[in-house]
A and B are shown apart, each in its own frame.
Chain A
Amino acid sequence: MDDYLAGFTELFSRYDVVGAFWVNIQLTFWAGLIALAVGTLLALMRISPVASLRLTGTSYVTIFRNTPLTIIITFMVLVVWTQLTVTLAPDFNANFFWLAVVGLAVYHAAFVCEAIRSGVNTVPVGQAEAARAIGLPFLAAARLVILPQAFRGSVAPLGNTLIALLKNSTVAAAGSVATETASTMKVMIEFSPNHLYAIFFIFAMGYVILVIPIGLATTWLSDRLAVKR
């Protein structure tokens, strides 16, 4: 037992485990923010009266939802950066970080879009008709009547998307973000192989500890914000 505790202490002092989780939290935060904005825009396009916008939105979702995330992240580094020389930050590591953020964001935006659309489906058609009938143009009706109710109805699926995003942020390892959890874990296994079980335990538990509150919070919010009909 003491051996185990000593093992944990050694791992935590030799490697920046907490820092690694912090990197994933930051990846999740920025990617989540961008994905929320892009996903909302996509959802708007998909419910808009303009056929070409609807088609664009649908195509985006179909393409990005069905492409493996690893491919998108690798694409960001090998094509967007190496070939197209798009640089998102002057600092080498910061550049990889932001490339990973964008890759995570474009992928999860497709899921955010679908989550919001499921929320839109909780809003009766009559609400949109009533909004149009008082003379609100599409965007105003969407902003003032449809989306506020749709967001309330999509808290649970949005929470699930956030949880997926947090766990998927480890794929940033494929995009050369060396300080995040999956990369750190690989390094630790390589240099402290005698603590193999402890290492897996630490990272698995770390994510469980981060994810549980998100699940609880979204369930609570979802009930609280539900629109009474």
Chain B
Amino acid sequence: MDHEATTDEPQPDSVTDAPASATATATRELGEPLVELSGVNKHFGALHVLRDIDLTVRKGEVLVVIGPSGSGKSTLCRAINRLETIDDGTITIDGQPMPAEGKGLARLRADVGMVFQSFNLFAHKTVLDNVTLGPRKVRGLSKKAAEDQARTLLDRVGVGNQAHKMPAQLSGGQQQRVAIARALAMNPKVMLFDEPTSALDPEMVNEVLDVMVALAREGMTMIVVTHEMGFARKAADRVVFMADGLLVEQAHPEEFFTAPKSDRARDFLSKILTH
């Protein structure tokens, strides 16, 4: 994460863009609450990873989650589509509580897109099949309809010409863009990103962030765990800072990065900035 902060500085566009997009985000209309967590607790054995988390994300909102390693950011993300169970509290998506298991859970998960740090493309399927699998098997789309949609999405993330390759033949940045297309193909209500660029070589970070910024501008509701401050400044409506399983601080990105209120956040920011 150190180099992420430094690669952030030589990007003139992310800095000069910031004021313009700040006004853009300020005027963005946020809708109804879409993802609501209340009183969420989670333990791994004796470790209390999520402590009484209350968090509401509105339709169209882009939330950036930031915080030191081990603070529970991934667990928070994974709890939202129940890849991780919670001990108590409630999580609702668009008013519906996340079911414990079964068909209802699968259906709700289909509405929550997830992009992983390690891409996790299906290694035995072509790029095109990766993107059409969910729409065909979960949404019941015909092969033709799913492929048409997949091609549009692959074009949109800039890998349209790779449709027939296997994931292992693609660069990390391309794989992550395919993973974004795969998630988008389900027409999710909200997209979760867990450090989508931290497994990438520095020169591939921007191609993925560009896709995410475009997505944010189109009004997608997003929860993004990232240390990319350029992205946060450009696209986020709100930054939440997590430490030791607690939501320590929430603020508008400009405000958070220039004048963090808590000592923990100030300490954390000084560490990722002074390199």
Determine whether the beta carbon of A127 is less than 8 Å from that of B134.
no
Task: Map CB proximity to B onto A110-150 as digits: 1 under 8 Å, 0 otherwise.
Answer: 00000000000000101101111111110010001100110
Task: Find A129's partner among B107, B116, B124 (CB 8 Å cutoff).
Answer: B116
Give every chain B residue within 8 A of A133 (Cβ-Cβ). Answer: 81, 83, 109, 112-114, 183
Query: Which interface residue of B102, B133, B186 has the most chain A CB atoms within 10 A?
Result: B133
In the complex, what's the smallest C-beta–C-beta distance from A130 to chain B, in angstroms?
4
In the complex, what's the smallest C-beta–C-beta distance from A7 to chain B, in angstroms?
53
In the complex, what's the smallest C-beta–C-beta distance from B29 to chain A, in angstroms?
29
CA distance A135 to B110 in the complex (A): 4
Any A CB within 8 A of the CB of B257: no
Determine whether the beta carbon of A126 is less than 8 Å from that of B106.
no
With A124-B120, A126-B120 as given contacts, are A136 and B106 in contact (CB-CB < 8 Å)? yes
In the complex, what's the smallest C-beta–C-beta distance from A128 to chain B, in angstroms?
9
CA distance A127 to B121 in the complex (A): 7
Any A CB within 8 A of the CB of B26: no
CA distance A49 to B82 in the complex (A): 13
The SS class assigned to the A binding surface is helix
Determine whether the beta carbon of A131 is less than 8 Å from that of B122.
yes
The SS class assigned to the B binding surface is mixed
Determine whether the beta carbon of A136 is less than 8 Å from that of B137.
yes
CA distance A131 to B182 in the complex (A): 11
Any A CB within 8 A of the CB of B168: yes
Determine whether the beta carbon of B168 is less than 8 Å from that of A229.
yes
CA distance A78 to B223 in the complex (A): 65
Determine whether the beta carbon of B186 is less than 8 Å from that of A135.
yes
Give every chain A residue within 8 A of B47 (Cβ-Cβ). Answer: none
Determine whether the beta carbon of A134 is less than 8 Å from that of B110.
yes
CA distance A227 to B126 in the complex (A): 12
Determine whether the beta carbon of A127 is less than 8 Å from that of B116.
no
For residue B186, which residue of chain A has the nearest CB? A134
Any B CB within 8 A of the CB of A46: no
In the complex, what's the smallest C-beta–C-beta distance from A174 to chain B, in angstroms?
42
Determine whether the beta carbon of A136 is less than 8 Å from that of B134.
yes
Any B CB within 8 A of the CB of A14: no
Determine whether the beta carbon of A127 is less than 8 Å from that of B123.
yes
Determine whether the beta carbon of A127 is less than 8 Å from that of B109.
no
- State which residues 105-158 of B face A: CB under 8 Å: 106-114, 116, 118-124, 133-134, 137-138
Task: Map CB proximity to B onto A154-178 as digits: 1 under 8 Å, 0 otherwise.
Answer: 0000000000000000000000000
Give every chain A residue within 8 A of B112 (Cβ-Cβ). Answer: 133
Give every chain A residue within 8 A of B186 (Cβ-Cβ). Answer: 134-135
Determine whether the beta carbon of B168 is less than 8 Å from that of A130.
no
Determine whether the beta carbon of B138 is less than 8 Å from that of A136.
yes
Determine whether the beta carbon of B120 is less than 8 Å from that of A135.
no
Determine whether the beta carbon of B123 is less than 8 Å from that of A130.
no
CA distance A130 to B192 in the complex (A): 12
Determine whether the beta carbon of B123 is less than 8 Å from that of A135.
no
Determine whether the beta carbon of A127 is less than 8 Å from that of B122.
yes
CA distance A140 to B103 in the complex (A): 11
Given contacts A136-B133, A144-B137, A228-B168, 12 further A-B contacts (CB under 8 A): A124-B120, A129-B114, A129-B116, A130-B120, A130-B182, A132-B109, A135-B106, A136-B106, A136-B137, A137-B106, A140-B138, A149-B123
